[in-house]
Chains A and B, each alone.
Chain A
Amino acid sequence: MHLTPADIAALGEIVGHYPHKRAACIDALKYMQARHGYVSDQSLEAIAVLLDMSPAELDEVATFYNLIFRKPVGEKVIYLCDSVTCWMLGRDKIARKIQDLIGIRQGETSTDGRYTLLPIVCLGHCDHAPAMMIDDRLFGDVEPGQLPGILEPPD
């Protein structure tokens, strides 16, 4: 995957915000993820060249953060909290219900490519546990019965 001229321009602007090129690495990874859904080996290598880093160094950064994806994910990513409060208040039931509804377990992507289910540590929404997030939308006090509506919102 070669960078398009538009990518290079956008990344160049990101790099320009920092005194050192490599400081822009997280923003650059986020940009590539926003463009392609995940960071492929090819785009990682292309950004590494742009930032004067070795691919191994950039991969260290990319794999450190659990919100940077190094493998393809579904159109929507469901983050289901697995911290203590959510676990006590029934997050496992939610996980099972999701499996019933769309057939994926944690870490899996549905065969139609629409959903990926990932565990996440604390969404900071413990007072409304169990909590989950789909892309940027946060849901609290989730009951298994609400899941069809959350997953398939009426248009």
Chain B
Amino acid sequence: MAKVTVDGIELEVPNGSTILQAAELAGKEIPRFCYHERLSIAGNCRMCLVEVEKIPKPVASCAQPISEGMVIKTDSDMVRKSRRSVMEFLLINHPLDCPICDQGGECYLQDEAVGYGSDHTRYHENKRAVNEKDFGPLVKTVMTRCIHCTRCIRFLSEVAGVPELGATSRGEEMEVGTYVQRALSSELSANIIDLCPVGALTSKPYAFTARTWELRKTDSIDVLDAVGCSIRIDAKGPDVLRILPRINDAVNEEWLGDKSRFALDGLKRRRLDRPWVRQNGRLVEASWEQAFAAIAQRMHNVAGERIGAIAGNLCDAESMIALKDLMASLGSGNLDCRQDEAALDSTRRAFYLFNTTIEGIEEADACLFIGVDPRREAPVLNARIRKRWLAGKFPVGIIGPSLDITYDATHLGDGPSAITALQNGDHEFAGALEAAAKPMIILGQGALARPDGAAILAAVWALGAKYGVMNADWNGFNLLHVAASRVGALDMGFLPASGAKNLAGMMQGGVDILWLLGADEFDMSRITADQFVIYQGHHGDAGAARADVILPGAAYTEKNGTYVNTEGRAQWGARAVMPPGQAREDWRIIRAFSELIGHALPYDDLPAVRARLAAANPIFGEIGQVRRLAGIDLTGPTGEGAFDAAPFRPAVSNYYQTDPISRASPTMAKCVAAHASPLASAAE
């Protein structure tokens, strides 16, 4: 610790702090453009100048470490004059086109210009103009507005791990751009929109849509992957216009994947906004009463064991518990949440969670991927792995297809034989795992959604036991899920009851009535023509196309729902807008139907459903918390049988289109097209 004085306030700050950090500890605000606490220090905008006694010139506080006894002034005449001069230089080539700039109202430059800008210009020469760049379908550029803080360049090379941006030339000629004009290839690329302190990089799909002060802001949780990133939903009237990340150091820091940010235009398309009933082979619009009556009529005299339910990947826990309770009241235990038929073992939470936790990745000292592609299955989590890798001494091994990943990794093999080889110590990576004090294994759904999945799960657990991945202080056994609903469903037991049918058992006529709760991700042709299908969900996707009755539900932006992420962290998503048309919150639909058939569920408001959830598993009451489970009990999951020699296949082959919302999104379709031919827009 060192003693410093900031504007007369004496305080102790940790050694190695910068003046800017010391000033923040003293509660002083320092304006800055290039400095960002999650990026390396550049020190090139000069806006953070402060005065330090015994140093004759103003000092860039973001880049200057403190020393013992420093006396810092953050608001002296000299400081204000210096900052005003810096601002004048920054504005020389800035177009001042705020009225037509999308950043207006949330622009650092605009904000700081209020404090340090002049009311007139002394520069009467021509301002420079910079050619536009093509950064792909998500990031719009107006490079004339750029003030060369290099945050975008640093983000892509440091956090995203794809060093595609650079600043060419120097001085007045300096321009930020991609090398030979290619679309950005990172799944995290749109975070540079948030980082840009001016309007040089703005959101292309949101361009000229709304001003920030017109928007209604709702804090919620993302469901398009299983990480459960904290988001803010910005809505105007009935429309969700924008999704931004919120800071949550335990989960997403302040990043968000491009799909989670931009699939929102899919919320306006292919929506189910009224009930439909199939009559004479065709779906016909119906009222809620007609739809419920059609289901009740078909259910009449059908035995419970001939009814089944499948939960989809985006479901909230409230609707799943309601459906589970409804099925129980009908006498059915035919439930499944595993549309990919992954061999998950729900007997202990440690068998299906990301036990290390996302924050815990930073403590690990070796990592083995098995049938997982974190870059595409969970880009924000992958950024955390890269962060750990950048810190050094972090060997990464891959069993599965060799990946285009954002850090160095050793490829051990394509399929299960590599697990056996490692178990026998037949690969040099065994040494890396043995040497590690806190090794991690990340097992993907791609390795479990195959006939030998149970054997793989057991073998990987055994591998973990052999290499000390689970011990009293550390649990490095991790499953990376891709479905936001999955862990919640496993926690509440949305699985076949003893002796009841799983997804495969319900197919091919295994049940007479099938209730699909937002389930679109399995092959609908496995349902035979005489099976009666109820599809409850929000998009006209695969499930709705096969349905006999469609019940219009709410998307994640339209309901208050609980989601448990891959770490086992229960979080509350919140309603930002109302569901379209006659669509309703999903658990209320099930509750209403249960009453009609005389099995009224014992809850009729949200707190009551949540109390029911907490009774099913206390996890649902511990919002935002995660229980880190030590790996003391080494008893493994049961799973026997021979391995299939086939190589592992990743669970997500197309990052941009994984669910009904992103498949309905025109922006995501543009991303797929841009990345299918990355050279299409190359300028020669």
Contacts and interface: CB of A to CB of B under 8 A. Distances in A.
B167 A54 contact: no
Interface string B515-552: 00000000000000000000000000000000000000
Nearest to B178: A56
B280 interface: no
A118 B179 CA distance: 25
Interface in A40-83: 41, 54-57, 59-60, 63-64
B582 interface: no
B166 interface: yes
B389 to A, nearest CB: 15
Nearest to A41: B180
B179 A59 contact: yes
A60 B393 CA distance: 29
Contacts of B180: 41, 55
A56 B178 CA distance: 7
Contact of B163 (A41, A56, A63, A64): A56
A136 to B, nearest CB: 24
B157 A64 contact: no
A54 B157 contact: yes
A130 to B, nearest CB: 24
B169 A64 contact: yes
B166 A59 contact: yes
A59 B163 contact: no
Contact of A54 (B164, B169, B170): B164
A69 to B, nearest CB: 13
B165 A56 contact: yes
A110 B168 CA distance: 26
A55 B169 contact: no
A58 to B, nearest CB: 8
Contact of B167 (A41, A55, A60): A60
Nearest to B170: A64
Contacts of B167: 60
Nearest to A63: B168
Contacts of B163: 54, 56-57
Contacts of B168: 59-60, 63
Contacts of B164: 54, 56
Band of interface residues on B: 10 to 19
B178 A63 contact: no
Contacts of B170: 63-64
Contacts of A54: 157, 163-164, 166, 179
A149 to B, nearest CB: 34
A63 B177 CA distance: 12
A64 B170 CA distance: 6
B152 to A, nearest CB: 12
A57 B166 contact: yes
Contacts of B178: 56
A64 B171 CA distance: 9
B157 to A, nearest CB: 7
Nearest to B173: A63
A59 B178 CA distance: 10
Interface in B449-465: none
A60 B175 CA distance: 10
A35 to B, nearest CB: 21
A41 B170 CA distance: 19
Contacts of A64: 169-170
A54 B156 CA distance: 12
A64 B169 CA distance: 5
Interface string B138-180: 0000000000000000000100000111111110000000111
B177 to A, nearest CB: 8
B679 to A, nearest CB: 12
Contacts of A59: 166, 168, 179
Most buried by A among B157, B163, B167, B179: B179
A54 B164 CA distance: 7
Most buried by B among A54, A56, A59, A64: A56
A12 to B, nearest CB: 22
B169 A56 contact: no
A41 B683 CA distance: 12
Contacts of A63: 168-170
A141 to B, nearest CB: 30
A133 to B, nearest CB: 21
A63 B165 CA distance: 14
A38 to B, nearest CB: 15
A57 B176 CA distance: 11
Contacts of B179: 54-56, 59
A148 B480 CA distance: 74
A40 B204 CA distance: 32
A131 B165 CA distance: 38
Interface in A88-118: none
Contacts of A56: 163-166, 178-179
Nearest to B168: A63
A123 B179 CA distance: 31
B130 to A, nearest CB: 14
B199 to A, nearest CB: 23
A55 B180 CA distance: 9
A60 B169 CA distance: 7
A70 to B, nearest CB: 9
A141 B31 CA distance: 51
A127 to B, nearest CB: 27
A59 B179 CA distance: 7
A59 B180 CA distance: 10
B176 to A, nearest CB: 10
A56 B179 CA distance: 5
Contacts of A60: 166-168
A153 B175 CA distance: 40
A26 to B, nearest CB: 14
Nearest to A44: B179
A57 B162 CA distance: 11
Nearest to B684: A41
A101 to B, nearest CB: 29
B600 to A, nearest CB: 62
A64 B173 CA distance: 10
Interface in A12-55: 41, 54-55
Nearest to B166: A56
A55 B164 CA distance: 8
A148 B179 CA distance: 41
A60 B165 CA distance: 9
A63 to B, nearest CB: 4
Contacts of B169: 63-64
B163 to A, nearest CB: 4
A40 to B, nearest CB: 11
Shortest 9 CB-CB distances between A and B: which pairs? A56-B166, A54-B163, A56-B179, A63-B168, A60-B166, A55-B179, A63-B169, A64-B170, A59-B179
Interface of B: 157, 163-170, 178-180
24 contacts: A41-B180, A54-B157, A54-B163, A54-B164, A54-B166, A54-B179, A55-B179, A56-B163, A56-B164, A56-B165, A56-B178, A57-B157, A57-B163, A57-B166, A59-B166, A59-B168, A59-B179, A60-B167, A60-B168, A63-B168, A63-B169, A63-B170, A64-B169, A64-B170
Given A54-B163, A60-B168, 12 more contacts: A41-B180, A54-B166, A54-B179, A56-B178, A56-B179, A57-B163, A59-B166, A59-B168, A63-B168, A63-B169, A63-B170, A64-B170
Interface of A: 41, 54-57, 59-60, 63-64
